[in-house]
Amino acid sequence: MKTAPRIAVIDYGMGNLRSVTKAVEAAGGDVIVVTQPAELTGVSGVVLPGVGALADCVTALRATGMDEAVRTWIAADRPFLGVCLGLQALFDYSEEAQTAGLGIFPGKVVRFKLPAGLKVPHMGWNTVRFTQPDSPLVAGLMPEGEAFYFVHSYYCVSADPDLVLAECDYGLKFTAAIARGRCFATQFHPEKSQTKGIQIYRNFVSVAISA
């Protein structure tokens, strides 16, 4: 039997830590909640969750040095999973409060400008189509469409189309997930998406085991 990999969930003072932690544990990970870069020693995978304002997220990460720790971790192609704000923070810039992101991937985060009748935030279940069906993060899921739970007013526009792992429609087509090597991030909340969401976390834990 393989030993459960130690998965760090970053606590920067905001986010849905409890639900993410429980989901990673249900997926077979041995979770440690971390606040400082030194605590990543001996860890096999890192999860950056988030709800709320991106400016607060990035400011908090910079205050502890976790911003540079995340950059270094991803640059080394070590298993990483960003969730919601944890996706948006990876890009250069966000329209939300004119915020500079971590600049790990080229692109920006923009606010939904939708036709009449569609509300912002985009909230609830929506179908996600996987454009990289061979990605280890989506093993066991249907490439043509699975339902996941969203809560967001902004979405990511990647300067590199090859970065896009999944797409979703809400008045327009937007990026629902990205992947590059062992770095993954989702706009939807797997921890709120029942069995399909747990499958996402289970697949991430598998990547951490094999890394």
Has 168 been annotated as catalytic?
no
Catalytic residue flag (residue 191): yes
In this prediction, what percent of the chain has a pLDDT beyond 90? 91
Structure tokens at 179: 């992947």
- Residue at token pair 């500079």: 100
Question: Please, which pLDDT band fits residue 13 given cuts at 50, 70 and 90?
Answer: confident
User: Is a pLDDT exceeding 70 seen at residue 77?
Assistant: yes
The token pair at 40 is 């990543």
- Considering the candidates 84, 156, 168, 183, report the single residue annotated as catalytic: 84
Task: Please list, in sequence order, all residues whose beta carbon lies within 8 angstroms of the beta carbon of residue 197, skipping any fewer than 6 positions away.
Answer: 23, 148, 149, 188, 189, 190, 191
From 89, 123, 121, select the one nearest 108 (Cα to Cα): 89
Rounded alpha-carbon distances, angstroms, from residue 124 to 119, 136, 149, 170, 192: 11, 25, 5, 11, 10
Catalytic site includes residue 84:
yes
Query: Predicted confidence band at 2 (pLDDT cuts at 50, 70, 90)?
Result: low
pLDDT value at 1 more than 90: no
Q: What is the pLDDT of residues 54-76, one digit of tens each?
A: 999 999 999 999 999 999 999 99
Q: pLDDT per residue over 108-137, tens digit each?
A: 999 999 988 999 999 999 999 999 999 999
Which tokens belong to 55?
């400016």
Catalytic option among 57, 122, 152, 189: 189
Tell me the mean pLDDT in the region 74-91.
97
Identify the active-site residue in 57, 146, 168, 191. Answer: 191
**Chain-wide mean pLDDT for the chain?**
96
Each residue's pLDDT tens digit, 147-157: 999 999 999 99
pLDDT above 90 (res 92) = yes
| pTM, rounded to two decimals | 0.97
- pLDDT recorded at residue 52: 85
